[in-house]
Amino acid sequence: MPSVEILRPVLAVHLQTLPNQAETFARKPSLDDIVDRAHELLLAAVGTRLAAHVPQRT
């Protein structure tokens, strides 16, 4: 089994690339935000398609 001293340079390289706390726990949209936005997009898309099929009044 290799000693810790032999592995220390390898461990140091890997530890330097770990994300910091701010990167790890960055703000992400909540599931509710994602669902709300998807609902808005769906309603807009359906409304656009329905409006395209409505006959024009003269």
Per-residue 3-state assignment (H helix, E strand, C coil) for the chain: CCCHHHHHHHHHHHHHCCCCHHHHCCCCCCHHHHHHHHHHHHHHHHHHHHHHCCCCCC
Count: domains in the chain: 1
Q: What is the pLDDT of residue 12?
A: 65
Per the structure, the complete domain to which residue 41 belongs is given by 4-52
8 in a structural domain = yes
pTM exceeding 0.75:
no
57 in a structural domain = no
Mean pLDDT, each 10-residue run in order, the chain (58 residues): 69 64 76 93 93 79
Q: What is the pLDDT of residue 42?
A: 95
- What is the distance between the alpha carbons of residues 47 and 30, in angstroms, rounded to a whole number? 26
58 in a structural domain = no
Q: What is the pLDDT of residue 39?
A: 96
